[in-house]
């Protein structure tokens, strides 16, 4: 398969969707991003790469970072991580407070905001400097330095009232061990990681290679842990439309309100698409369609 030619065809087919929708306006630093951008990158486990569009433009990866924080937490805590975090789809928006009350402060899964805040709390408890360890973890996956977009992190903190409410609510149930402001500082910074599409395809390559980073041969997760992260991406990774993603695309995916979506094709390749304008579910409109077209023509699916 000529992946480069396929990506170019997909780019042409989604051209009329690029810029449709709206950028995430509730975070002012994201509201200023040009919506008329598009990038699609892939990396095969043999090292082959392909890409179209602005694949080297760094962007705020937002909730895609939850894959990295979850993987780091699994490295450090193993199965004990699940004592406070569930593994079921929420069916509600990513920032909903409703289920937390019914379920006594235990988040449904690690990919909704409450779940990622719970993961951040575990990292604070087990790392001397959680923000630095997240940077080192992602840098290690790429074998190159990465950074936080401090403007985005500050913007998140200044407009993060719902996340603060979520964290205080969880702490009231005894589900957070550390001060809310410390946990949220880690969470806001991880969401403000700035990477390009090409970097994201490389950094998530371990997800399609049974937990081994094909860039350097180092094991990131056990094979079992890697399968579980992929399973959670498939069932919980795209907010409250994960079922639609499974139906239309058939791959484990994780999206972010910065407009990025990563996808894993086990034993074959990792994918990242980015286009900042979002649809009603908070997922990139052009990016979602591009993944659907790519998966259909390439014949890749976990089903």
Closest CA to 176 of 77, 85, 95, 74: 85
Query: Other CB atoms closer than 10 Å to residue 165's CB: what's the count?
Result: 14
For residue 282, the Cα-to-chain-centroid distance in whole angstroms is: 13
Q: Look up 239 and say whether it is catalytic.
A: yes
Record the tokens describing residue 276, joined without a space.
């900042």
CA neighbours within 13 Å on the CB side: how many for 63? 25
Q: Which of 52, 65, 66, 131 is catalytic?
A: 66
Query: Helix, strand, or coil here: 258?
Result: coil
- Which residue is associated with the tokens 């630095």? 132
Q: Look up 63 and say whether it is catalytic.
A: yes
Q: Which of 60, 63, 69, 255 is catalytic?
A: 63
Strand 147-148 to 193-195 pairing:
antiparallel
Angle at 65 between CA 62 and CA 69, to 5 degrees: 145
Q: Look up 257 and say whether it is catalytic.
A: yes
Record the tokens describing residue 300, joined without a space.
């890749």
Q: Look up 182 and say whether it is catalytic.
A: no
Q: Which of 65, 119, 175, 187 is catalytic?
A: 187
Q: Which of 60, 119, 186, 239 is catalytic?
A: 239
Angle at 284 between CA 3 and CA 71, to 5 degrees: 75
Q: Quick one: which H or E segment has residue 3?
A: helix 3-13
Q: Look up 301 and say whether it is catalytic.
A: no
CA neighbours within 13 Å on the CB side: how many for 98? 6
Query: Helix, strand, or coil here: 253?
Result: strand
CA neighbours within 13 Å on the CB side: how many for 133? 19
CA neighbours within 13 Å on the CB side: how many for 44? 11
Q: Which of 10, 229, 257, 300 is catalytic?
A: 257
Query: Other CB atoms closer than 10 Å to residue 78's CB: what's the count?
Result: 11
**Active-site residues: which are they?**
63, 66, 187, 239, 257
């Amino acid at each position: 398969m000529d992946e480069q030619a396929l990506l170019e065809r997909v780019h042409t087919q989604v051209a009329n969707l690029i810029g449709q929708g709206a950028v995430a306006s509730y975070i002012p630093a994201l509201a200023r991003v040009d919506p008329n951008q598009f990038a699609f990158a892939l990396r095969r486990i043999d090292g082959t790469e392909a890409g179209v569009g602005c694949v080297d433009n760094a962007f705020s990866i937002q909730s895609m970072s939850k894959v990295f924080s979850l993987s780091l937490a699994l490295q450090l805590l193993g199965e004990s991580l699940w004592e406070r975090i569930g593994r079921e789809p929420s069916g509600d928006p990513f920032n909903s407070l409703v289920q937390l009350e019914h379920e006594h402060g235990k988040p449904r899964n690690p990919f909704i905001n409450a779940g990622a805040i719970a993961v951040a709390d575990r990292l604070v408890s087990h790392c001397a400097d959680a923000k630095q360890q997240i940077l080192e973890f992602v840098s290690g996956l790429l074998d190159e330095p990465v950074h936080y977009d401090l403007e985005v992190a500050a913007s998140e903190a200044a407009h993060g009232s719902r996340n603060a409410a979520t964290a205080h609510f969880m702490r009231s149930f005894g589900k957070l061990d550390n001060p809310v402001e410390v946990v949220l500082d880690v969470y806001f910074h991880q969401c403000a990681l700035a990477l390009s599409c090409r970097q994201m395809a490389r950094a998530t390559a371990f997800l399609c290679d049974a937990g081994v980073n094909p860039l350097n041969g180092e094991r990131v997760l056990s094979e079992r842990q890697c399968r579980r992260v992929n399973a959670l991406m498939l069932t919980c990774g795209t907010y409250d439309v994960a079922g639609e993603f499974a139906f239309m695309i058939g791959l484990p995916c994780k999206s972010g309100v910065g407009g990025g979506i990563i996808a894993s094709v086990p034993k074959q390749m990792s994918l990242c698409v980015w286009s900042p304008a979002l649809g009603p579910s908070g997922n990139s409109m052009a990016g979602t369609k591009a993944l659907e077209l790519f998966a259909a023509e390439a014949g890749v699916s976990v089903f």
